[in-house]
Amino acid sequence: MLEIQLNKQQRLASLHKDGPAIVLAVAGAGKTTTLCARTANLILKHKVDPLKIKTMTFSRAAARDMKEKFISLSGEGIKKANAVDFSTIHSFAFSVIKYYYKHKNIPLIVIENEKEEINKYSILKDIFKNVSNEYITEEQLEELLTYITYTKNMMHKPKEIEGLNTTIKNFPLIFETYENIKKEKNYLDYDDMLTVMYNILLDEPKLLKAIQNKYQYWQVDEFQDTSIIQYEILKLLAKPKNNLFCVGDDDQTLYSWRGSYPRILLEFPKVFKKTQVYFMEENYRSTETIIRLSNEIIALNQQRYEKSIFTQNEKGFPVLIEEFNNENTQIKTIVQEITQKKQLQEVAILFRNSFSAMPFIDSFQENNIPFYIREHKMSFLKHWIAKDISSFIQLAYKPYDLELFRNIYYKLNAFLTKQSMSYVAQELEKIDFAEREEINIFDVLLTYPHLQYYQKEKILKIKYDFGIFRKQNTNNFMQFIRKRLRYNEYLEKQELTSKEVVNNTIGVLEYLANNVTTGLEFLDKIKGLNQVIKEASANKGKGVVLSTIHSAKGLEFDDVYVIDVINGVLPNASSLNQLEKYQDVSELEEERRTFYVALTRARKQLKICSTKMRFENTTEESIFLKEVKEILGVNPIKTRLRPKEIQQDVEKIDVSGYKKNKEINHITFGKGRILMRNDNIAMVDFDSGGTKKIDLKTCIKYQLLI
């Protein structure tokens, strides 16, 4: 075997040869190295042909990185190292489908690319229009696509589809129509790759047998993100020997909304008899301080394998909690700190939702701080509310533009019907295109014969307000649109979008509008930001990393800022509603896993940030921030999410020796002197600045006093 440095747990896993195995690898445990070592062991020690080993992972980037690492570690030791097949399960499925379709002379038309004339987006828009008799919004389209992915990955039957809790009306009919169109015309989208391959394998036993003979050792990385359809495919492929080696971490399952099914990992040993379960619990990435906090946070989840993450790294810097007064203070402070850092590519700002990134993008641009955006599609500026605001502004200056009017006519609170909209379109068709710029759509609308008197009054008022907007160039245009043009009234009626999303989206747009004086300047700024985002997404390795937590999974940085840790953001509003209404913790546990992933991206320094006010709205302290404070012994709280046994252990701790004027050294806050103590609660004056209350018993329990 090659000289790859492994610890005891890694070595045990890498030596596994035949039969099913699960490797439970905590964050930063070196799972890629272990997978590479196991592959090398099969080839060098057991003389397995490299062509018979198939390794699959979650993303193309991960597959590419894993192959590069394997070839690098192999050096000259493995002659056919390049022959080992690393890919995603989707790309493997597509290769099977292409082979089968070519063999059967079936035309293959992939409809995934939005730029192609025939694509799934336009097809779904047409289906939605025909079924619902209305145009689909961008947010509805995004939700529709999410539920289609979820349905396909979960292998839902018709009755299960009917029972889905979705805000998309007539979803079962839309889904059925979409599937029928694809079947009739041999269309294939990304989600079909798995279902179509699965059916091919069931219908073509000879082809299945050929694949089973070709690959006799199957390895799967990021197994915790496996969906039901993927699992069923793997079970078919691994037969009859079941040489299935799966590496994952149930504590990093983040994609249940996309069909990931974490119970697969938990139930794997029951499905595959004689499964070997290996643990890799040593973290090589982070400091002891970061690992201790992360371990205690994730231990609060109940639906997980029992394991304990540890490290032999130094204690390092304390984990810092920063509670800012508002988003402006948060941005200014973090930007100021970042300007003092030398290796910007080792600094990451992680967030739950893309709206958190926009103020930082704006600030980085103004301060000439280079940055890299992980997301190839920064969805915020494509949000339907952002598009609405853009349409309002443009229509004020282009009152003849039919498409702009079509975007917002039903959001003007004038009780305008689709029939009136059709009438306007027909009347404009009668006017020569070159002359249309002289037309005001509201004048055309006023000629609609079926208008009621109150509707005419509203239309005249709206026309007048748009004229005021255009002539005055009001610098408070956001308020003008929301109140004078009554867009707020439309937003308040939107049941499909949570109040938190509406408030945050409007808040970010108003933040971006702060330094401009007119609507046209705002549009120019948005256009500029779109270009900045496009350029920053190609700026890898050249600046501060801005990333959602989901996109940062698998990455690591010296310095990490986890921002907007507030209830409604992290954790999100949906998980809190599920907990409050149904005492269902499943969504909250996924949010805690998301938080855990964020914490474990940090190698050396970790700062957890929240704001007391956000876009002029008071925030609620995050459940997770409360848990962090309790673990660190800051401002102790009582929480039902805390394991009872820990509470009982804490009660037995003796703190009588911690008297007034005693000097202590806290792992987070450094040296300090006790000013006063009431039972286990001490008021401490820390040299680092500020007086804080700490729970002495909790601090002793978690070895926070050194």
Residue 582 belongs to a domain: yes
One domain for residues 495 and 388: yes
Give the domain range for residue 573: 310-370+543-632
Count of CB atoms within 10 A of residue 97's CB?
A: 20
Q: Look at residue 197 and tell me if it is in a domain.
A: no
69 labelled binding-site residue: no
Confidence of residue 560 (pLDDT cuts 50, 70, 90): very high
β-bridge pairing 617-618 and 613-614: antiparallel
CATH number of the domain within which 454 lies: 1.10.486
Residue 646 pLDDT exceeds 70: no
Q: Are residues 132 and 232 in the same domain?
A: no
Q: Is 27 annotated as a binding residue?
A: yes
Return d(Cα 666, Cα 481) in angstroms, integer: 51
Domain boundary among 185, 212, 246: 185
Question: 380, 384, 386: which is closest to 355 by C-alpha?
Answer: 380
Same domain? 507 vs 650: no
**Residue 485 pLDDT exceeds 60:** yes
End-of-domain residue from the set 499, 525, 551: 525
Strand order in the sheet with 557-562: 320-324, 602-611, 557-562, 347-351, 544-548, 371-373
Concatenated DSSP letters of 112-166: --TTSSS-HHHHHHHHHHHHHSSPPPHHHHHHHHHHHHHHHHHT--HHHHHT---
DSSP state of 196: H
Reading the block at residue 652, the tokens are 């037995």
What is the spatial distance between Cα 261 and Cα 250, in angstroms, rounded to a whole number? 10
3-state secondary structure 592-643: HHHHHHHHCCEEEEEEEEEECEECCEECCECHHHHHHHHHHCECCCCCCCCC
Q: How confident is the model at residue 497 (pLDDT cuts 50, 70, 90)?
A: low
Q: Residue 105: what are its φ and ψ, rounded to 5°?
A: 55, 40
602 is in an annotated binding site: no
Task: Quote the tokens at residue 12.
Answer: 């045990």
Instruction: Consult the annotation and say whether 30 binds a ligand.
Output: yes
Give yes or no: residues 82 and 223 share one domain.
yes
Integer CA distances (angstroms), 168 to 65, 132, 407, 496, 625, in order: 38, 10, 19, 8, 34
Q: Are residues 29 and 123 in the same domain?
A: no
Assigned domain for 45 exists: yes
- 393 and 507 in a single domain? The answer is yes
In a domain, 692, yes or no: yes
**Is residue 295 in some structural domain?**
no
Q: Which CATH number do you get for residue 657?
A: 2.30.30
Residue 490 and residue 564 in one domain:
no
Give the pLDDT score at 172: 94
Does the annotation flag 167 for ligand binding?
A: no
The string of DSSP codes covering 236-270 is HHHTTTT-EEEEE-GGG---GGGTB-THHHHHHHH
User: Residue 104: inside a domain, yes or no?
Assistant: no
Six-digit token string for 172: 């079962």
Q: What is the CATH number of the domain that holds 73?
A: 3.40.50.300
pLDDT of residue 647: 43
Whether residue 506 sits in one domain with residue 392: yes
513 known member of a binding site: no
In a domain, 1, yes or no: no
pLDDT for the residue 361? 93
348, 463: one domain: no
Exposure string of 461-474, with b = 16+ CB inside 10 Å and e = fewer, is ebbebbeebbeeeb
Q: Is 62 annotated as a binding residue?
A: no
Counting the structural domains of the chain, the total is 5
Domain boundary among 570, 602, 632: 632
Across the chain, mean pLDDT equals 87
The response to whether 31 counts as a known ligand-binding position is yes
Could you tell me if 366 and 247 lie in one domain? no
Amino acid at 205: P
Cα separation, 144 vs 33, in Å, equals: 39
Global pTM reads: 0.81
Helix ranges, 350-498 (H): 358-366, 384-397, 402-408, 418-429, 441-445, 453-472, 477-479, 487-492
- Please check whether residues 414 and 506 belong to one and the same domain: yes
Low-confidence winner among 210-214, 308-312, 603-607 (lowest mean pLDDT): 308-312
Give per-residue pLDDT as tens, 686-702: 876 667 778 788 778 76
220 and 340 assigned to the same domain: no
96 in any annotated domain? no
Mean pLDDT, rounded, for 407-420: 85
